[in-house]
């Protein structure tokens, strides 16, 4: 894995990255990795975002089968 250093990053950009990372329940470093990956991997932001956030989504939840709704008597 490579490491990069970003110099002269505007304070407002850093603040927004921190807020965005917190909203996604991940570190700022993980958020930046997700953003960079989305920008360069095929240009498909949605697909890259899904891959980057897979461990946080809860796809492994076993949800019960849906049932039909109840009848509603409006009389």
Sequence ranges of the domains in the chain = 11-54
- Model confidence, pTM: 0.53
Residue scoring higher pLDDT (64 or 31) = 31
| Helical H segments across 1-75, by residue range | 11-23, 28-40, 45-52, 54-57
**Would you say how long the chain is, in residues?**
75
Provide the pLDDT for residue 43. 63
Provide the pLDDT for residue 32. 92
Name 74's Cβ contacts closer than 8 Å, sequence gap at least 6. Answer: none
Express each pLDDT in 15-43 by its tens digit.
Answer: 999 999 999 999 999 999 988 887 787 66
Q: Do the Cβ atoms of 28 and 21 come closer than 8 Å?
A: yes
End-to-end alpha carbon distance in the chain: 67
């Amino acid at each position: 894995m490579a490491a990069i250093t970003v110099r002269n990053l505007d304070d407002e950009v850093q603040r927004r990255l921190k807020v965005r990372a917190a909203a996604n329940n991940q570190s700022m470093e993980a958020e930046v990795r997700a953003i960079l990956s989305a920008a360069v991997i095929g240009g498909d932001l949605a697909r890259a975002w899904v891959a980057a956030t897979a461990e946080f989504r809860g796809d492994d939840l076993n949800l019960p089968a849906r049932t039909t709704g109840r009848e509603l008597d409006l009389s």
